[in-house]
Amino acid sequence: MGSKRNARAETKLVEQAEASSDSELDAEELYLSSDDDADAAVGPAPEDGSTSDDADDESEEGSEQDSEEEGGSLDDELDRAVVDYIADRGGTDDPAETSGRPPGEPGEAEVAETRPVDPGSDSSEDERPNRNTIGNVPLQWYKDEEHIGYDKEGSKLIKRERRDRLDALLARNDSGKEWRTVYDEYNDEEIVLSKEEMQLIQRIRAGQFPHIEVNPYEPEVDWFTRETEIHPLSSAPEPKRRFIPSKWEEKKVVKLVRALRKGWIKREKKDESEEPPAYLLWQDDGMVAEKTATGLSYIPAPKPKLPTHEESYNPPKEYLPTEEERAAYELQEEEDRPQFLPQAFDSLRKVPMYSNFIQERFERCLDLYLCPRTRRKRFDIDPESLVPKLPKPRDLQPFPSALMLRFRGHKGKVLSISVDPTGQWLASGSSDGSLKLWEVRTARCMHTWALGGPVHCTAWCPNNALRILAAVVDKKVVLLPSGTGTEEVEAAAVQALKLTPAASEGDSKLAHWQARDDGQGVDIVHQHLVKSVTWHGRGDYFASVAPTGNTQAVLVHQLSKQATQNPFRKNRGRVVRVAFHPAKPFFFVATQNHVRIYNLAKQALAKKLIAGGGITSLAVHPTGDHVIVGSEDKRLAWYDLDLSAKPYKALRYHTYALRSVAYHRSYPLFASSSDDGSVHVFHGMVYQDLLTNPLIVPVKILRGHERVDHEGVLDCAFHPTQPWIFTAGADGDVCLFCN
Amino acid sequence: MGQKRKRGQAGNAVQYITRNQALKKLQLKLSEFRRLCILKGIHPREPKKKTQGANKTYYHLKDINYLAHEPLLVKFRDAYAYEKKIRKAKAKKNRDLAERLLARKPKHRIDHLVKERYPSFVDALRDLDDPLTMVHLFATLPAEKALSIPAKMVHASRRLAMEFQAYVVRTNALRKVFVSVKGFYYQAELMGQAVTWLVPHNLAQMLPTDVDYRVMLTFLEFYQTMLQFVNFKLYHMLGLKYPPVMDARLEQAAAGLAAIMQDLAKPAIQAGAAEPASGAANPDAAKRLKTLPQKLKELQQAEVSGAEPMEAGNDADVAGGLAEDDEAEAAAEDSENEELGDIDSGPTSVAGGAVGVNVDNDAEVCEKLFAGLVFFLGREVPREQLLFVIRAFGGTAAWDGEGSPLSENDESITHQVVDRPTQGHRFLSREYVQPQWVFDSANFRVLVKPELYAPGTAPPPHLSPFTGPDEDDYVPDYLQELRKLQEAAKAARLRSQGLEQDRFVGEEDEVAAGAGPADADVDSVEAAEKQYAAELTRELQAANADEAEQTSDEDNEGEDEQQLIVPKAAAKTDEAAEEEAAMKNILMPRKTKKLYDSIQKTRSAKRARVEKLQQKKQALASARKKQ
């Protein structure tokens, strides 16, 4: 039904073909356009039919009959509808339809009359006699005329009255033939296509041969075979030369015979497919040659791995993959996944062929001749032998091992702590601007100073007769009487902190000494932000570090004279920490990558230690011969000053940057704290004889602080007399670990 | 101070050249170079410094110079020129000339390469794994013309494989068999060298198209030559003729191994002839044995004449003759077994035929393991493989089909190897087992319980004999069982040895009585001591075995309770130990730490694997309990 509808929509057919003798089309193309175009096309022309523009056209002859030939020569794009062939058939083959046509349409009756078909005729001309004789001229020329052209007699063919759309609709509804009626503009007539013709069109549109009789798959008749026939095609008699022995052949035979006789040509034994015989290749045994013929050592190819239980055709059940493992295997990329999954078959006869066998052998072959070979030494090392032999930590007691007290009270991170020389008091400075004084035994806060800025460093004066506390706030170093001593000590401290007029008015280029607002203590105002302060062992001198201070980065202050001096004139890099030698007049200056040791007496550089990695902290051994340095690259370096400028041991065990390092004053202990929230305590024994290297043994990892803002333990300090350690955390607590 | 050396004048820069440089130097195409390298065994080497770039393959200059002086190189060039002649003739449609040229194509031999590459025979044996696997593979491949696999190569492969197998059977050198998904792994011990090879399953191979068969064929060419000489040497050492004559009839009947073995003088028969004692036990059998060579001769003559009408009759004759032989042997061995069986029938079933052998001598145990057992192979089992294994371990085998020495109805058959769930007719006198029984028995040198391998039931897991006790920490349950069996078999063998010693001591005494009393006394004392020691060890072992069984049960109960308590206490110490270990790591140098970490990683991975297997096993066991 669908095809019928399509056919109805198409009223205009352009046919380009030659009709064969028995009115069959060899090849045709049909161009179908819409109904409306046909309506619009109206067409006579004033000019005469013989004025054709196509020079090569047969219709040029001017004869009336020839015009049908134009179908074969017309260009595709020609806008004219030619339905000659179909018109011809439509008019004649279906007499029933013609008779059934209403009398109001005389054109069709005329068509039927004017086109007699001579079935015997061979000519294609006969089949499509046109009523119109204008020839191959544009139909627009007749557009405004009353007639469409001329008949054979030369009388005008008057245009039929056009049906309006209503009529067309009615006709379409009334008659079943309307949908296969085609309007022939050239002859101004309507043609009803027969059923056969409709089939023809449908077949063409479907891309099939138009005629159902044509069989495209006829059995091929091999007229000209490849096989040589035994009988000659020609019956010509055999020439004489075929019966006479050839002279040349005879000569050749003679030649060959002679060659054979003389042994020039040897006859090959045809079937010599026997294997060459094997023989005893190796005479003697037991000799194993290490070198090959090239003189290079022979490297045998590694043997493939021997199969394990997994590869068995019937492995133990536990070797078989679970569902999840199988799914995971499927998900893996083909290159990543292991070669095969263990499989189990309950009987040997069910084992299938292994499809990768040849592939694997091939790969082995490739390995054998393509892979570079080297001899590698295989170490069979017991991993325990790699572990250094160290004494057990429990043999190295005492060392801090358990969290004993927690000093709570700071609202911000505790940036620094310092234990007083007696070990009774603890000072801690925090980022909330407070400096607190704690009693160690009770963890009670005895005093709080609000210093108005983060307290980056605190340090007790080692001089027990003064009990002064130094702290660093912004650009100031604050000296405070701690108020922990006896009255005499208090008085001495007040006396010491009483500013002399010289000091207060003195040279303020480096630092300005001034009394604090509350009258207690002294501020030493620097020109740059101060980060740390350290006391000399005797408690008179102390040094402050202002890393941004350039040439004034390190200033040494004298308490007794209330004077400040700048020991260095040159800037040797950003100074991070400084320290005094406990006994000798040496001064340690840690810049980011080096530690310089100056001889203060000689005013000269004594040694330069190479560290690197951003030093954050520095501690000097009580003997003064060893230094530990903590750096941002998570490394703790132990320097033996007698040995070299490079670390005696560099240990990397923290997972984040080191924040502080500390030596115990009397016990052979040292510790490091880091941003990973842990404090590592080491046993660091230094021997008196110079031959024995220091013994470093890690003894304890202390964990008591939480990480806050990527900061862990910011400072650590040992108790001066006990094997205890205080740690200051970013979580605002100070912890005391005891043995 | 001398002049400064220029770059690229010494060292790696001149010692090693890249492949392309080598090609240019040798004036070869890549394919020719490849072929030459394969045949000569030249492989790239890894220089310490890759002077021409890291992504290149380097050959040692000496290797390349060595190739340049290879006479084969000239031969190949000649062959190439000759090929051109043929091509030309073909192009000119001169078919006669082309055919003649093809027929007279120059051949090359590569014997000298074998000797060059393997100066001593042991060297060749060491590298025999790949050749054997390759030859066995090609023996099963179709001679595909599209992939240019010539039929000749396939036939030669088959012949060489058979010859080698025949040798292994003859010397009872086979030690291990493993049926994997990939195929059959075999391991034989030749002159102290373990030779392992893989034989694909007896199924049609799928020929992948993305494989360069030319490479494989070049390898095969060398391997065949090598194996030929190796076989020759092996046969020569036994005093056998090489190549052996294949029995065409048996070969036709697809009993390839049997076909060759026919030619190799049968060890069992020889042994029978050499040992009159065994024959004496059964005079009838001895008589038959005497007539055997004659019969064999007749047989051969019949084959040579190749008269077709005669063959049917002869076949029957041969079958009968062989059957008689085997019967005779079996009878002889049976009688031996009976003797032993009278004394100790229990353990003999575990120890198989290998009683009265030195327990520590694996070769001897292997040789006698299946002695006295007669197997009948069903139609559905891999005949060639089983035949190989059974014979290599001293058994006798018959099969369902042409050329079989015994028929299925024969009374002497002790085991029938079948792989189908149901049997049409069951002989009560024999055990019905699956093929795996043979392999497992051979691997563990015991006769495992045949009930476990009854047809139609799922056999116990087939375990790889290639995993040593220390290689894998995980020991499957069945392996433990097998080890117990092994112990039992060992004990049985020791016992039987002790018996023989007894007898020996007695004889000595008799002889010594005549010779001199002093000597005899010394000898007898020593012997007695030995015997006593042997008895002691035996008793100890027996006691140990019993105790182990008893205590294992008791322990299991006790352990459970202990395990509950231990973890709590262990947790703390564990933590401390862990911390200690972590702290020890701190003082390690970085390199050592890396090495240590990597070792620990592999160990922990192994441990994890074992743990996983154990967990799986437990899960499986619990699932089974629930059911």
B343-364 pLDDT, tens digit each? 334 444 677 766 767 777 888 8
CB-based contact A651 B212, cutoff 8 Å: no
Residues 650-679, chain A: which have Cβ within 8 Å of B? 651-653
CB-based contact A306 B196, cutoff 8 Å: yes
CA-wise closest residue to A522 among A460, A559, A479, A493: A479
CA-wise closest residue to B579 among A653, A662, A716: A653
Total beta-carbon pairs less than 8 A apart between chain A and chain B: 270
CB-based contact B579 A285, cutoff 8 Å: no
Give pLDDT tens digits for A152-199: 888 888 888 877 888 888 888 888 788 888 888 888 888 888 888 889
Q: Closest chain A residue to B213 measured between Cα atoms? A: A362
Interface contact B232, partner A, CB < 8 A:
yes
Q: Which residues of A touch B43 (CB under 8 A)?
A: 299, 301, 368-373
Cα separations in angstroms, B212 against A339, A494, B219, B287: 21, 98, 12, 58
Tokens 């060759």 identify what position? B260
Q: How confident is the model at residue A55 (pLDDT cuts 50, 70, 90)?
A: very low
Distance (Å, whole) CA B145 – CA B461: 41
Between helix B30-40 and helix B71-91 the angle, nearest 10°, is 140
Interface contact A694, partner B, CB < 8 A:
no
The Cα of A265 is separated from the nearest Cα of chain B by a number of Å equal to: 12
**Hey, what amino acid is at B133?**
T
Interface contact A296, partner B, CB < 8 A:
yes
pLDDT at B113: 92
> Tokens for A410?
């700071």
Q: Which residues of A touch B419 (CB under 8 A)?
A: 347-349
Distance (Å, whole) CA B341 – CA B337: 6
Q: Closest chain B residue to A383 measured between Cα atoms? A: B596
pLDDT at A269: 66
Residues 321-350, chain A: which have Cβ within 8 Å of B? 322, 340, 343, 346-349
In chain A, the N- to C-terminal Cα span, in Å, equals 103
pLDDT at B230: 94
In b/e form, how buried is each residue of B153-185, taking b as 16+ CB within 10 angstroms? bbebbbbbbbbbbbbbbbbbbbbbbbbbbbbbb
Listed in sequence order, the residues at least 6 apart from A32 whose beta carbon sits closer than 8 Å to its beta carbon are A9, A10, A12, A13
Tokens 């193309």 identify what position? A29
Q: Beta-carbon neighbour count of residue B426 at 10 Å?
A: 12
Q: How confident is the model at residue B540 (pLDDT cuts 50, 70, 90)?
A: low
Distance (Å, whole) CA B486 – CA A116: 111
Interface contact A693, partner B, CB < 8 A:
no
Distance (Å, whole) CA B485 – CA B488: 5
pLDDT at A160: 83
Interface contact B181, partner A, CB < 8 A:
yes
CB-based contact B205 A358, cutoff 8 Å: yes
> Tokens for A458?
């605190």
Q: Closest chain A residue to B159 measured between Cα atoms? A: A275
> Tokens for A660?
């502080």
The minimal CB distance from B45 to the residues A289, A307, A373 is found for: A373
Pick from A213-217, A249-253, B555-559: least confident: B555-559
pLDDT at A9: 36
Average pLDDT over residues A456-485: 89
C-alpha dihedral, B96 to B98 to B99 to B103, nearest 10°? 140
Give pLDDT tens digits for B376-405: 998 889 988 998 999 899 888 888 887 788
What is the set of domains in chain A, with CATH numbers? 2-205 (no CATH), 394-738 (2.130.10.10)
Residues 62-121, chain B: which have Cβ within 8 Å of A? 62-63, 65-66, 103-104, 109, 111, 114-121
Give percent of chain A above pLDDT 70: 80
Residues 425-454, chain B: which have Cβ within 8 Å of A? 434-436
Interface contact A385, partner B, CB < 8 A:
no
Binning chain B into helix, strand and coil, the percentages to the nearest 5 are: 65, 5, 30
Between helix B30-40 and helix B213-238 the angle, nearest 10°, is 20
Tokens 């390349």 identify what position? B64
CB-based contact B620 A317, cutoff 8 Å: yes
Residues present in chain A in total: 739
> Tokens for A277?
């015989």
pLDDT at B584: 79
Pick from A288-302, B258-272, B485-499: least confident: B258-272
Give percent of chain B above pLDDT 70: 70
Q: Which residues of B touch A373 (CB under 8 A)?
A: 43-46
Q: Is the pLDDT of residue B581 over 70?
A: yes
CB A440, CB A736: distance < 8 Å: yes
Residues 551-580, chain B: which have Cβ within 8 Å of A? 579-580
The Cα of A674 is separated from the nearest Cα of chain B by a number of Å equal to: 15
CB-based contact B464 A309, cutoff 8 Å: yes
Q: How confident is the model at residue B147 (pLDDT cuts 50, 70, 90)?
A: confident
Q: Is the pLDDT of residue B87 over 70?
A: yes
Interface contact A307, partner B, CB < 8 A:
yes
The DSSP line for B537-585 is HHHHHHHHHHHHHHHHHHHHHHHHHHHHHHHHHHHHHHHHHHHHHHHHH
Average pLDDT over residues A720-733: 92
Distance (Å, whole) CA A442 – CA A424: 10
Interface contact B419, partner A, CB < 8 A:
yes
The Cα of A119 is separated from the nearest Cα of chain B by a number of Å equal to: 59
Interface contact A303, partner B, CB < 8 A:
yes
The minimal CB distance from A281 to the residues B115, B380, B461 is found for: B115
Q: Is the pLDDT of residue B421 over 70?
A: yes
Q: Which residues of B touch A361 (CB under 8 A)?
A: 133-134, 137, 216
CB-based contact B461 A343, cutoff 8 Å: no
Q: How confident is the model at residue B216 (pLDDT cuts 50, 70, 90)?
A: very high
Distance (Å, whole) CA A212 – CA A314: 65
The H or E element that residue A671 is part of is strand A669-674
Tokens 């058939």 identify what position? A89
Distance (Å, whole) CA B432 – CA B415: 6
DSSP 3-state of A631:
strand
The DSSP line for B363-408 is HHHHHHTTTT-EEEE-TTS-HHHHHHHHHHTT-EEEESSTT-SS-T
Q: Regarding predicted confidence, which is higher, A417 or A335? A: A417
pLDDT at B626: 87
Helix ranges, B204-282 (H): 213-238, 248-252, 256-263, 267-274, 276-281
The minimal CB distance from A353 to the residues B206, B436, B592 is found for: B206
Give pLDDT tens digits for A312-348: 999 998 889 888 888 888 888 877 887 778 989 989 9
Q: How confident is the model at residue A508 (pLDDT cuts 50, 70, 90)?
A: low
Q: Closest chain B residue to A272 measured between Cα atoms? A: B103
Give pLDDT tens digits for A640-682: 998 889 999 899 989 999 999 999 999 999 999 999 999 999 9
Give the mutation candidate from A284, A310, A361, A670 for the B interface (greatest B CB count, under 10 A): A361
Give pLDDT tens digits for A519-553: 788 889 999 999 999 999 888 999 999 999 888 89
CA-wise closest residue to A692 among A620, A604, A625: A625
Give pLDDT tens digits for A100-141: 344 344 444 344 344 444 444 444 444 557 888 888 888 888
Q: What is the value of ipTM here, to two decimals?
A: 0.78
pLDDT at B516: 40
Pick from A314-318, B207-211, B289-293, B616-620: least confident: B289-293
Interface contact A373, partner B, CB < 8 A:
yes
Pick from A209-213, A348-352, A385-389, B269-273: least confident: B269-273
Q: Which residues of B touch A388 (CB under 8 A)?
A: 584, 587-588
CB-based contact A359 B211, cutoff 8 Å: yes
CB-based contact B34 A365, cutoff 8 Å: no
Q: Which residues of A touch B601 (CB under 8 A)?
A: none
The DSSP line for A579-628 is EE-SSSSEEEEEESSEEEEEETTTTEEEEEEE--S-EEEEEE-TTSSEEE
Give pLDDT tens digits for B166-211: 899 989 999 999 999 999 999 999 988 999 999 999 888 888 989 9
Interface contact B46, partner A, CB < 8 A:
yes
Distance (Å, whole) CA A209 – CA A25: 10
